[in-house]
Structure 1
Amino acid sequence: MSSETAYETASETYERITGVKLSEHHMHEATNTIGQEVGILDICPSKEEIHKKIENISKNKFRRPIMMLALDGAHGPMRPEPSPHRRKEKRGKGEWKEIKGFRLYLIDGTSINHLISWHQVCEDHELAQDLVKIKEAGLIPEAEIRLGIIGDGAHWIWNRCKEIFPSAKEILDYYHCSEYVHGVGNAHYGKETRESRQWCEATLTRIHFGDHEDVLGGLGKMKAQTQEVQDKIDKFYTYLTNHCEKMHYDTTKRGGYHIGSGAIESANKFISHTRLKRSGAWWYAQNANNMLKIRCAKYNGTYDKIIEKYKKDDQERIKNKKSRKSLRLVK
């Protein structure tokens, strides 16, 4: 319950349902205690489960199934980590920090078959290390699938993924590209004017069919009326130059890959936003990560597994503690 709603609400609900009172502080501590012991492989389905899903989708099909790796960053309300005397200190000023995440799924006709979601407040190299872990664990069997990577224009996405999955098909999110096109069209021709709509439609059509050189040539001939408009044109020119190899949307769609990042946007919303972005909520990054681990496990279908693992480890700790106590008494 505490992973779905505010700790206070979870505490009240638990008492109404069971008649047992658990304070919101207890809810908070229990959630963090469980979450801090969870690693990325704990929240992932097993190698056998993933291979079984691939096998089921592959039946009676000539081509290997497509596995999509979608990456994105969302922002969450964070505050500075506390000192040992945090109860006596004022809370530090909060700031919004990026929650980096990825979603791994199989495409099955017109639907998607979810495999793994993972979201953490972290640096890009830390997320890359997590991707390496699931790759080395055999959870992304590149020989059995066609791997497609989709994301927006963030450098951290493509720099890291190129290192880890050099043979994967890279796809720039179509709607992210569309935002750049409409930004230039509205700035140059006037917002929502007929000329702007015509230019945007023609430009997106050329990009869709891979006519990137024509688009670049047209951008180079534009005569901006202000420096602000010229800056937008120059920015889009650089953007298209850097990512044009990821924008062959026509052949990409015909190959069966997704060209939109709706899957990771949905994961951002249901895993991160609905729990972390609450009125007045500010999180220590470590506590936010513990909560995100548990929520990822829920959506990955591995929640029961991490709870059983925690119970087993906790029983072992209690057993060892009793053994040490008995040994001290004997001495």
Structure 2
Amino acid sequence: MTAAAMLECAYWAQDQVSFQRAEEKIKRTLHISIDDDTIRKAAGYIGKAVFEEDCRKADEAWAEFCKRPLVSEPKRKKGVLYIETDGSSVNTRIQDENGSTWRENKLAIFFSTDHIYKWKNKKGEICRKIEKKEYVSYLGSVSEFKKHVLAGAIRNGYGRYEKVVLLSDGAGWIANMKDELFGEDVLQILDFFHLSENVYSYGKAKFKMNESQYIPWADEKCKKLRDGKWKEVLGELDPEETYKNTVNLYHYINSNKEHIDYPQYSAMGLFIGSGAIESSNKIIVQRRFKQAGMRWGVSTAQYLMTLVSKWESELWESDVVNRTYKILN
């Protein structure tokens, strides 16, 4: 198989919802027959090469960091570098020590104010759209994922912007990673999109899915939190009141109280919850890896997820095509 043919296999493998659909698409568009197993092998070969190169660069960044921690430039340009990170599970063929086959994929997004388009809608409200972002996906431990986050932050301008913001869902591992890599140089914000989701989920459980009760209740709590009245919200919650499949809302808000000063963040012109990480999990993980009945080999999923991330980051030509021709020629 030529390099060009392998790249076609890799592209359609990450673009379609299954290898079988990729086989159909190649036949329709290129008028050639390549079976789904060959497509899987070709995509795996290329994805492995791309992923291993990313790991090499991440290890290099980590080695330099261990020698000398990150230092910001004395004269930093105006603007903000945003880092968003989250986890989403993928069903694998390998059981963990608890017997579960689900393994968490850790996803990070990097974008800056240099690539945010702003406009006003008919109501005069300022709207913003992220026009360029980089995704980094890692199906494994935090200890390795943090190296990729470090390398991604550096690639996207860490140290050159006057502000750096980390948006997250409030998970402890994310806060620990932020402290280890960036310390106080990064402002951590609890993504308001995630906070709102948890408030509504809690409200649904509290009022047994009665929309006439949980919607106004959740609307009120979210408005107060958006206005910085988190103490008032905590006073209205019972610390001991918990429901199945929801967070303990009192504990969740209380443990993140240092990261929910939304009036101040808004006054600074910062994103407080774009929903970017949530939509990214749908783009990178759910669309391709969580179809009904899917179970993955960990390596197969990682290599393909790397290809999906490169395409969505608009890095296909530089990081996939160029690397493939370098390896094969």
**Where does residue 191 of structure 2 map in the other structure?**
173
Equivalent positions of 1:1-331 (< 5 A) are 1-5=12-16, 6-39=18-51, 64-80=78-94, 95-107=101-113, 108=116, 109=118, 110-135=128-153, 137-166=154-183, 167-182=185-200, 192=210, 199-219=217-237, 230-231=241-242, 235-305=248-318, 306-315=320-329
Aligned 8 A contact 2:225 2:233 in 1: yes
Q: How has the CA–CA distance of structure 1 residues 188 and 80 changed in structure 2, closer, same or farther, with 3 Å as cutoff?
A: closer
Q: Deviations over 1:180-229 (max 9, x none)?
A: 44455566677557776665444333322323333333436x9xxxxxx7
Q: 1:275, 1:94 → 2: CA distance?
A: 21
SS at 1:79 equivalent:
coil
**Cα deviation, residue 266, structure 1:** 1.6
Give percent identity, aligned residues only: 22
Q: 1:193, 1:301 → 2: CA distance?
A: 41
**Cα deviation, residue 245, structure 1:** 1.0
- Structure 1 gaps, min length 5: 45-62, 82-92, 223-228, 316-331
Q: 1:281, 1:171 → 2: CA distance?
A: 34
Aligned 8 A contact 2:93 2:296 in 1: yes
Q: 1:304, 1:234 → 2: CA distance?
A: 42
- The structure whose Rg is larger is 1
Question: TM-score with structure 2 length normalisation?
Answer: 0.73
Number of residue-to-residue matches in the alignment: 279
- Structure 2 gaps, min length 5: 1-11, 58-76, 119-127
Q: How has the CA–CA distance of structure 1 residues 215 and 139 changed in structure 2, closer, same or farther, with 3 Å as cutoff?
A: same
CA RMSD of aligned residues (A): 3.2
Q: 1:150, 1:74 → 2: CA distance?
A: 16
**Cα deviation, residue 14, structure 1:** 2.3
Aligned 8 A contact 2:81 2:161 in 1: no
Q: 1:80, 1:195 → 2: CA distance?
A: 43
Question: TM-score with structure 1 length normalisation?
Answer: 0.73
- In structure 2, what residue type is equivalent to 1:130? H
Q: How has the CA–CA distance of structure 1 residues 23 and 64 changed in structure 2, closer, same or farther, with 3 Å as cutoff?
A: same
Q: How has the CA–CA distance of structure 1 residues 192 and 13 changed in structure 2, closer, same or farther, with 3 Å as cutoff?
A: closer
**Where does residue 322 of structure 1 map in the other structure?**
none
Aligned 8 A contact 2:93 2:298 in 1: yes
**Cα deviation, residue 20, structure 1:** 3.3
- In structure 2, what residue type is equivalent to 1:300? S
Q: How has the CA–CA distance of structure 1 residues 21 and 188 changed in structure 2, closer, same or farther, with 3 Å as cutoff?
A: closer
